[in-house]
Amino acid sequence: MEIAFQNVMETLVFNKLHNMLHILDCCHCEKCQKDIAAYTLNSLPSKYVVTHQGELYSRAEALKLQYETDITTALLRSAKIVKDHPRH
Ligand SMILES: [Zn+2]
């Protein structure tokens, strides 16, 4: 069986960013989205899990409930940073 490590927080942040993008008051280009994701991930704890098929989903759901508010807050803060200091 293939065993891999994955930082579940990455998936959660990217999904949340995608869902919130329309309400974020900043540039929506790919570069800025990745900057926002990077700032956000740096401000949140990494949550590595060992993935087996199917298992990741349930772990991700549990962590999503736990970190939903933190992720939202961090994304809003990161969007403001990117808006104030765009790299292009
Ligand atoms: Zn941009």
Q: Say what the pLDDT of residue 1 is.
A: 60
Q: How far is CA 58 from the centre of its chain?
A: 17
CA 40 / ligand 1 centre spacing (Å): 16
The number of distinct structural domains making up the chain is 1
Alpha-helical runs (H) found in the chain: 8-20, 30-43, 55-84
Rounded distance between C-alpha atoms, residue 49 and residue 46, angstroms: 10
CA 27 / ligand 1 centre spacing (Å): 4
Q: Kindly give, in sequence order, each residue whose CB lies less than 8 Å from that of residue 37, ignoring residues fewer than 6 positions away.
A: 10, 13, 14, 17, 78
Q: How far is CA 31 from the centre of its chain?
A: 15
CA 64 / ligand 1 centre spacing (Å): 27
Q: pLDDT tens digits, residue range 15-39?
A: 999 999 999 989 999 999 999 999 9
Q: Tell me the C-alpha to C-alpha distance, in Å, between residue 84 and each of 18, 33, 63.
A: 20, 14, 30
CA 24 / ligand 1 centre spacing (Å): 12
pLDDT at 67 exceeding the cut of 70: yes
Mean predicted confidence (pLDDT) in 40-57 = 85
Residue 34 is part of which domain span? Answer: 4-84
Mean predicted confidence (pLDDT) in 57-84 = 93
Rounded distance between C-alpha atoms, residue 56 and residue 64, angstroms: 12
